[in-house]
């Protein structure tokens, strides 16, 4: 798993060695905990990855914390001390229209939302301090993204049936490896970018 926090987005890329996060209760994926259970396990791995960098994060249920709105199954990641000088939370903002674990499993990327300065209504000293803290950590961790168009069947594509075309993603921490994968022609309209800067390194319309 490659995790990169840039601004208000936490990018989570699947690696070949990562587990597949399947819905709890098996086939009954829409019955709680179902996909909520899969998302919980995904968030646990994100939490562990970030804590290894020096973040001090916990995974909590939203309704128990009272900081955010969600179902009784919704979970998120937040700083251990939300009133500390540096505090942030990470959550799946598009839970109503997509399944985080399924996107991770099948297209290789899920984007999570990031909020800074949990005790401030507007941007203030705590928000600024937290942003600077995160930037300092993430600046030392390069991240490159290769994406391409390809078919996929998603349970969360509730407005369609069968296979649809989606953007697929693969993350890298080494530009040489990213370029080599890009050159294998992974699918239609491949693109290679520096995720930290958003700069396009290679783009093909073949």
Domain boundaries, the chain: 2-138, 144-203
pLDDT tens-digit series, residues 39-61: 999 999 999 999 999 999 999 88
Q: What is residue 159's predicted lDDT score, i.e. its pLDDT?
A: 46
Question: What span, in angstroms and rounded, lies between the C-alpha atoms of 21 and 30?
Answer: 14
pLDDT tens-digit series, residues 112-122: 999 998 877 77
Eight-state DSSP code of residue 176: H
What's the token pair of residue 121?
């209504």
Question: What span, in angstroms and rounded, lies between the C-alpha atoms of 136 and 198?
Answer: 18
State which of 22-36, 54-68, 78-92, 156-170 shows the largest mean pLDDT.
78-92
Phi and psi at residue 159, in whole multiples of 5°?
-95, 0
Phi and psi at residue 45, in whole multiples of 5°?
-70, -40
What's the token pair of residue 191?
């693109």
Judge whether residue 174 has pLDDT over 60.
yes
Query: Residue 154, class by beta-carbon neighbours within 10 Å (0-12 exposed, 13-18 middle, 19+ buried)?
Result: middle
Query: Which has the closest alpha carbon to 108: 54, 150, 138, 48?
Result: 150
Query: Among 38-52, 127-141, 150-164, 186-200, where is mean pLDDT lowest?
Result: 150-164
């Amino acid at each position: 798993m490659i995790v990169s926090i840039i601004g208000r987005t936490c990018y989570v890329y699947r690696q070949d060695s990562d587990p597949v996060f399947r819905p709890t209760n098996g086939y009954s994926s829409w019955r709680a905990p179902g996909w909520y259970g899969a998302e919980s396990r995904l968030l646990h791995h994100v939490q562990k990855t970030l804590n290894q960098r020096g973040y001090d994060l916990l995974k909590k249920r939203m309704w128990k914390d009272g900081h955010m709105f969600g179902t009784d199954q919704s979970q998120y990641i937040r700083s251990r001390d939300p009133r500390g000088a540096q505090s942030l939370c990470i959550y799946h903002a598009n839970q109503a229209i997509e399944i985080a674990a399924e996107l991770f499993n099948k297209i290789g990327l899920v984007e999570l939302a990031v909020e800074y300065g949990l005790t401030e209504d507007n941007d203030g000293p705590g928000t600024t301090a937290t942003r600077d803290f995160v930037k300092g950590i993430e600046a030392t961790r390069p991240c490159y993204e290769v994406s391409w168009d390809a078919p996929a069947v998603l349970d969360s594509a509730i407005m369609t049936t069968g296979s649809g075309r989606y953007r697929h993603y693969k993350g890298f921490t080494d530009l040489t490896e990213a370029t080599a994968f890009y050159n294998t022609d992974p699918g239609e309209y491949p693109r290679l970018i520096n995720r930290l800067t958003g700069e396009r390194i290679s783009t093909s319309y073949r």
